[in-house]
Amino acid sequence: MGGLVEGKAALVTGAASGIGRATALALAREGARVLVTDRDGAGAEAVAKEIGGSARAARVDVTREEEVDAMVRGALAAFGRLDCAVNAAGVLGPPGPLHDLALEAFERTLAVNLTGLFLCLKRELVAMRAQGAGAIVNVSSGGGLIGTPFLAAYCASKHAVLGLTKTAALENARAGVRVNAICPGSTDTPMLQGFMGSSPEARKMILATAPSGRLGAPEEIAEAAVWLCSDRASYVSGESMLVDLAAVAR
C-alpha cells in the first residue's frame, strides 16, 4: 500500500530541526518528494541527506521575498508541481514581560512568524491555484489560541497566523487549495528547550501547561501535518487543529 502522500511533491520551511524536521521526514516516509528548507542551510542539507532519494535542500530566509520566490520556483523545477507545503519556520523571540519588550525584538519575531509565513503562503497559493489543487499547513501554536505570559510577540504572531489561515482557506476553496493550521502544545524542540533553560520559572510554566505531565514529541505533531496534507483530509480547510493532549481544553 502507498503512503498517505504517495507521489506528492512537498516543501517544508524551518525543516532543519524540531517540528519542521520531523514533518519533512514524515512526509518522505509517507511517499512524498520533499524540498527541505531552512535558514540553516547546512541543517537542511543534513535532513535531505537523511531522507535520501529525491529529497532536495535549500537555504531560505523566509523574511526575504526573493528567497521565498526562489524556493517555490525551485520546488516546481525539481518536482514539476507543488502539492503540499508546511510552513514551520518560526522563532520564539526573547522572553520577558510585554512592558520590557524592545520594538526591535517584537518586529523581528513578527517578521519571521507572520510576515515570513505570509510570503510563503502567497507564493505557494499562486503555484497551487495554477494547477487547481494543493494543501498548505501553517504551524501556529497553542499560544495562537490563548495568552502566553512573557512571550507577547510570539503569542501575537501565532494568533495572526490563524487569521491568515482562515482567510486563505475561504479565498481558495473553489480553486481546489486547502489551507489549515496546526496548533502544537509544548513540544520537545531545541527552541522550547532553550526557553525552558532560560529560568526555573520558565521551565515551571511550560510543564504546568501539559496536563499529561510530558512534552509532545515533534513526530507526534508531524503526524497531524501529514494527515492534513493528504487526500484523507480532502474536506478539511480553514481548521486550526490543536495537537496538545488537551492542554488548551482546560
Q: Are 40 and 14 in contact (CB under 8 A)?
A: no
Q: Measured between alpha carbons, how far apart are the two ends of the chain, in Å?
A: 39
The answer to whether the Cα torsion of 236, 237, 242, 243 is positive or negative is: positive
Q: Are 105 and 153 in contact (CB under 8 A)?
A: yes
The answer to whether the Cα torsion of 42, 44, 46, 48 is positive or negative is: negative
Cα of 248 vs its chain's centroid, Å: 19
Dist CA 167 CA 233 (whole Å): 19
Catalytic residue flag (residue 154) = yes
Q: Tell me, what amino acid is at 51? A: I
- Name 225's Cβ contacts closer than 8 Å, sequence gap at least 6: 19, 23, 26, 86, 88, 137, 139, 182
Determine which one of 106, 154, 195, 227 is catalytic.
154
Task: Give me the sheet containing 134-139, strands edge to edge.
Answer: 56-59, 33-38, 9-13, 84-87, 134-139, 177-184, 240-243
Q: Annotated catalytic sites, by residue?
A: 154
